[in-house]
Amino acid sequence: MPDIEDLKADLKKLSARAMQAKMDLHDLSEELPVGVENVIATAERVRDAYAALDAKRAELKALEAAS
């Protein structure tokens, strides 16, 4: 089982990844209709990044509650 510090480090990485994906989608939206074929894949990457971030936050919260 990972410790709290490991989870916090993972959260930091996942947060940065989610923010980058969000910015990629934002940048793509500003260039529309150029790149419209990439919108779905980019949006899915944003969704997946934030889902992973939420899951890791829940894991950290559970571990902190157990401590």
> Nearest-5° angle of CA 52, CA 14, CA 49?
45
Provide the pLDDT for residue 26. 98
Domains and CATH numbers, the chain: 4-66 (1.10.287.660)
* 46-to-3, 10, 18, 24, 62 alpha-carbon distances in Å: 27, 17, 6, 9, 24
Provide the pLDDT for residue 67. 82
Residue 2 scores a pLDDT above 80: no
Provide the pLDDT for residue 1. 66
pTM, two decimal places = 0.90
Task: Give SS3 for 1.
Answer: coil
pLDDT digits (tens, 9 = 90+) for 11-66: 999 999 999 999 999 999 999 999 999 999 999 999 999 999 999 999 999 999 99
